[in-house]
Structure 1
Amino acid sequence: MPDSTDSDVRSEAVQRRRMTVALVLSAALLGVAAVVIGAVTGGDAEAGSSTPTDGATTPSATGTATPRAAPAAPPAPAAVDTFDRNAHSLDDPASIWVVVNRDRALNPIDYVPDDLVDVPVAHTWDPQLRQEASAALVSMFEAAANEAGLYLASNSAYRSYDTQVGLYGDGSDPTTAPPGHSEHQTGLGIDIGTEGGCTFECMEDSPEGQWLRDNAYRFGFLLRYPADKVDVTGYPHEAWHYRYIGAELATRMRETGYTTLEEFFELTG
C-alpha cells in the first residue's frame, strides 16, 4: 500500500500546480483587459482630436477657437426676360406699336382710327387722339402741373390723310411726312407745346421740354425723332413730337437705351 507520506506530497504538488495555473490565467486576463482599455481610451482621445463635423469652431495650434468659414452664398437666379416683342403688330395701323415712317406707309394708306376722341387739354387746335392715347396724355399733362408746376398744351394731334395732303404740298418741308406716312394719321402722334406759347423749337431748351424727355415714358410716350437719329427715322429732330406706344414698350426702351422704334424692332436698313 502507498505510504501516507507519499500521498500527502502528491496532493501538495497538485495544489501548487493548480495555484500556478490560476495565477498564469489571472495574469493573462489582466493583460487582455489592459489592452482593451488602452484601445478604447486611445480611440476616444484620437476621436477627440479630430476635426469637428458639426461644430462652429475648430481648435487652432494655440488652443483658441478659429471660426469656420461661412458657406458660399448660392448664385442669384438668372433674370428671365418676360417682354414679348410680338405682343402687338408693327404693321396693323390700329396697333399701338405700328411703325410708320417715310419707308413704311399705313395700310390702307387713308386709314382712319375708329376710336378717336376729343382730348380735354389746353390746345392750339382742337386735338383728337385715339382713346387710350388721350387718357394717357391727360394723365401726363396733369402730372407735369402737379409735380413740376409746368403747363403743357397740344399744338397738333390727329390729322387725316386729306389734311396731310394739303400740308405736304410739294414735299419741300423735311419735317412734314408724305400722306399715308404720318404718325399724326395714326391718332397716336402729337405735337406738344406750353400754355405760355412755346410751340416748336423752343421746346428743346424749355423746362417743359426737359420734363417731357425725363418723364414721358412713364405715360407711354416716346420722343419720336431724336437729334442723333435722323438717319434712322428719316426726319429732322423734333423736340415737340411725341408718339404714344404704351407704358410697357416705352419703359422697356428706356431701360435698354433704345430711342427709336426702328432700332428697337430691328427695322433699320
Structure 2
Amino acid sequence: MKRQKRIIYLSVALVALLLLGGYAVGHLKEGSFFGLGGEGSKQANDSPKGSENGKPPVVVESSESVKRRAALKKDLEQGLFLLVNKENSVSRDYKPEDLTAVKYFAPDRPEQGRYLRAKAADAFHELSEAAAAEGYEIIVTTAYRSYGFQETLYSNYVKTHGQAEADTFSAQPGKSEHQTGLAADVSSPSVQYQLTRDYIDTPEGKWLNDNAYKFGFIIRFPKGKEDITGYVYEPWHIRYVGKTAAKEIFDEGLTLEEYVEKEI
C-alpha cells in the first residue's frame, strides 16, 4: 500500500515538473524570461538604427558646422545677403552709412562711384593687392550708385537701346545692386578699363573669375544663369557676400538668388 502511494506521489511530482518545464520553455521562446530572444529581442532590434529605447538619436554638430552657421548669421546681420534685383528693390533714399573710398579706382571715372561699404572695400583692397602680386591689375570703375544716378543712367540706356534691351543689362532705379554699396564693376588695362564680355578671356578676367570668392566676392551675373538673375553675363560685376557664402556659391555654381532661397 505504501509502495502504491509512493508511486502515485512520484507520478504527480513528475507531471508537475513536466508542466512547469513546458511553461518555462514556452516563455523562453516568447522572450519573457530574463529578456532572452523572442519578441522582446525583436522589439529591440526593430528600434530605429542609432536610437535607444525608440528615441531619436542625438545629433552632435561638428565644430566646422558651428563655425559656418555663426559666420553666416553674422554676415546676415550685417546685411551682406541683401537681395536687390528685378523683384526686390530699395527705397529712393537708401544709402549705406559706412561707405568707404576704394583705393584702387579708375582715375577717369566719376568720383561718386568709388565707394563701397567698409567691409567690402577692405576685401576689395585685399583682392586687388593679391592680383597685383601675381602681375594683374584689377581696379574699380564704378561701385556705389545713388538712386538718382541710376535713374539717369537707366533712362539714357532706354533712349539709346529701347526698354526691352536696356532691361537685360541695366537695372531700373531702386533695383540696382550698386545702390547697396556691396557691388562693383571692375576692369583692367588689357581692355582699356572698359566693361566688356571679352574680359573673361583676359588673364585678369580669368584670375578674377577663379579667385574672387577667396576674398568674399562672387561673379553676380554668371553665364548660363540669365533666366534666374534677369541679366546678361557680366564677368566684370562682382558682389560682396562674405567669404563663407562666396565659397559655397562658387563651389556649387549658384547665383545669389539660388543661395538665398536655399540657405537664408
TM-score range, shorter chain: 0.5 to 0.7
3-state DSSP class of the match of 1:228? coil
Greater share of residues in helix: 2
- Is the 2:138–2:187 Cα contact (8 Å) retained in structure 1? yes
Query: What's the counterpart of residue 169 of structure 2?
Result: 175
Q: Quote how far apart the aligned CAs of 1:252 are.
A: 2.4
CA RMSD of aligned residues (A): 2.1
Query: What's the counterpart of residue 220 of structure 1?
Result: 216
Give me the identity figure in percent.
Answer: 37
Q: Distance in 2 between matches of 1:175 and 1:254?
A: 22
3-state DSSP class of the match of 2:65? coil
Query: What's the counterpart of residue 102 of structure 1?
Result: 86
For the structure 1 residues 258 and 233, does the alpha-carbon distance in structure 2 shift closer, same or farther, using more than 3 Å as the test? same
Higher-Rg structure is: 1
Query: What's the counterpart of residue 259 of structure 2?
Result: 264
Q: Quote how far apart the aligned CAs of 1:195 are.
A: 3.3
1:156 is the counterpart of 2:142? yes
Q: Distance in 1 between matches of 2:149 and 2:240?
A: 21
For the structure 1 residues 154 and 88, does the alpha-carbon distance in structure 2 shift closer, same or farther, using more than 3 Å as the test? closer
Name the TM-score, length of structure 2 as normaliser.
Answer: 0.65
Runs of at least 5 residues in structure 2 that lack an aligned partner in the other structure: 1-59
Q: Distance in 1 between matches of 2:218 and 2:187?
A: 15
Q: Provide, for residues 146-205 of structure 1, a one-character-per-residue CA deviation record: whole Å limited to 9, x for no partner.
A: 0x2011121111100000000111445121101111010001110010034142223121
1:116 is the counterpart of 2:102? no
Name the TM-score, length of structure 1 as normaliser.
Answer: 0.63
Query: What's the counterpart of residue 227 of structure 2?
Result: 231
Q: Quote how far apart the aligned CAs of 1:258 are.
A: 3.4
Q: Quote how far apart the aligned CAs of 1:96 are.
A: 1.2
Q: Distance in 1 between matches of 2:211 and 2:218?
A: 10
Larger relative contact order (CA 8 Å, sep ≥ 6): 2
3-state DSSP class of the match of 2:123? helix
Amino acid at match of 1:180: G
